[in-house]
Amino acid sequence: MSDGKELATYCGNEINMEFQIPHNVHVMSPNNNMLVRFHSDFSNEEPFRGFLAHYRAEDIDECAVENGGCQQLCHNFVSGYYCSCRMYYELQPDNHRCTVSCRDLLYTYESDEFQTPDYPQKYPNDADCNWVVRVESGFVINFVFQSFALESHPEEHCPYDYVTVHYDGTDLGPYCGESQTDWPPNIVTSGHEVNVTFHSDNSEQRTGFHVRYYVTARPCPSLAAPAYGSMIGSNFTFKQSVTFLCKAGYSVNGSSSRTCQGNGTWSGTQPFCQIVTCDTPPPIGNGRILFYSGSNFSYTNSIGYECDRFYELHGMSFRECQANATWSFPNPTCVPICGESSFDPREHESETRIVGGREAVRGSWPWQALVKVFAPNYDFLEVEICGGSLLNEEWVLTAAHCVTGGNKYRPSFFGNLVPTDAVEVGLGIHNRKQHTPETLYTSVQEIIKYSEYDAGSWDSDVALLRLNQSVQLTDYIRPICLPEQNRRPGWNDDSTVRIRNVADGEDEGVVIGWGQTGRYRSTSNVLREVNVGVNVPRDECNEAMNKRITRNMVCAGPREGGRDACFGDSGGPLMLRHATTGRYFPYGMVSWGDGCGEEGKFGVYARIENFVNWIKSVIEMER
């Protein structure tokens, strides 16, 4: 049943009442509801099984019947439909009827087209349309009619259907007819807005018209490229732009781009090319800037650099102002000249008179530092002297055992650093008992020992002292060079000594210090030097000494004894000269020995090349 009407009644079975059963029968309701009713009476003579049915909802296509009542377009969707109208028509409140709606249709593109409603079919009766074309000021509008057919009259001019054109106080038309001679001419407006109107009466219709329009621009004055520059663009009409570029080393001053405006003038200002200038270069420490070509730092101008005495330039010695307003090359630095002395040391002498040495030439070893260690609890009694090597204006290299526990005036356990106020460093000293204008004494700000220093075996006997002031370099105070880092663990561990960057035949180094001149002698007042052999195989040294010689140690001295460092020389350098530069560097640093210059014994030195990376990392980190 549906809407109170019975659609069908079924009973029976498939055996003897097949004509009454709904086998493969489709029953459709006229609307969206259906009632299925089942009835059974009081008897049941046979085992009837009842029925099985399936249902499916199907959408009604309302548009299939009389277009759904829509005057123009009908759109079906699930459970409903809606009406719409063609272009230039408007749906009425009843949602079914359409009326012409073509008033004040606005067009703003620089080129487009429009036509009468229903074109190329006949236009509707009683239509009043108008199209407004409005573009930017500076453009004029060009109209070209592609087709034209409007009802006309043989005697009266366009009384029924017609087209008119209006712009800037100008009225053109009306136009009607169907022959080519009746068409409106190609129209060029004088302004940037035009109104096209169309009217039709309630009688005959034609196909109407189809019109295209495009805009053209008015020109601006011609432009030219600036000196030392160029110009991109040659179209000098409205909306067109030109771009100005300058040669390398020059920059645009003014408008880099200009656009032709609607009033016939150019935007911006006419540019000129100005030479590029670089920022004032930063000063360099311990040096100065030399002006090679002027001081205004403009393109191609160059500057030079010069370092103070005792310093040398690292980096390029000149820089040039580049086209991108930056200086060529990184800023150089002035670093201390290392390993060179203002006073030549003594020539190598064969006589052996430190132990078996001689007094050094005053100022010949300007990096030698005197490290004094005091006993804080004994009115700063000087209890030990050591040597050291000046590395730069703030750092001194010395032996770790010089600044750690072990002395009777210091803590009794090994490895502890002495207080910084118990250490004093002297520089520019020849006679340590005399204070001259060249000498400088300074306190210590920080003591850093190598982390793996072993106070028992004296392995890795290396420490750094950071001075409390940045010392001024002089003829008597200059730093020593560092050797190259030993990059391969175990290098030189074999019995054959190989020293890199030292000329062939240079088998002796120089040891300097104020230490004892013999095992039972007093320390020296004046700085002494001694030449010792450095080509001692490690296995031979291990057999001769009472402690193990590790890879961080090197042995030096003659097998017959007589030339050696002694007590008080610890921390001082065992120096070699670089084969190429001729500059001195510490191959070793005085560490320990069995006596002083004993026959069959050697002096043991910390192998500095193994600690170069650590030394550099500490100095750089602490800056």
Binding residues for Ca(2+): 41, 43, 59, 62, 76, 80, 151, 161, 201, 203
Closest CA to 233 of 222, 225, 243: 243
Q: Is 279 a catalytic residue?
A: no
Kindly state the tokens that stand for 99. Answer: 């009326």
Q: Is 401 a catalytic residue?
A: yes
What b-and-e string marks burial along 185-209, b requiring 16 or more CB atoms within 10 Å of the CB?
Answer: eebebeebebebbbbbeeeebbbbb
d(CA 73, CA 79): 18
Q: Is 314 a catalytic residue?
A: no
Selected catalytic residue, list 118, 459, 461, 569:
461
449 pairs with which residues across the strands? 463
d(CA 141, CA 212): 10
**Token pair 């700085």: residue:** 527
Kindly state the tokens that stand for 215. Answer: 């805009």
C-alpha distance across the termini of the chain, in Å: 100
| 14 within 8 A of 23, measured Cβ to Cβ | yes
Annotated binding site: 41, 43, 59, 62, 76, 80, 151, 161, 201, 203
d(CA 616, CA 186): 87
**Token pair 């990184």: residue:** 330
CB atoms within 10 A of CB 442: 18
d(CA 29, CA 51): 20
Listed in sequence order, the residues at least 6 apart from 84 whose beta carbon sits closer than 8 Å to its beta carbon are: 70, 72, 73, 75, 91
Selected catalytic residue, list 364, 389, 524, 570:
570
Closest CA to 493 of 557, 541, 560, 558: 541
Selected catalytic residue, list 192, 401, 430, 578:
401
Indicate which residues carry an active-site annotation: 401, 461, 570
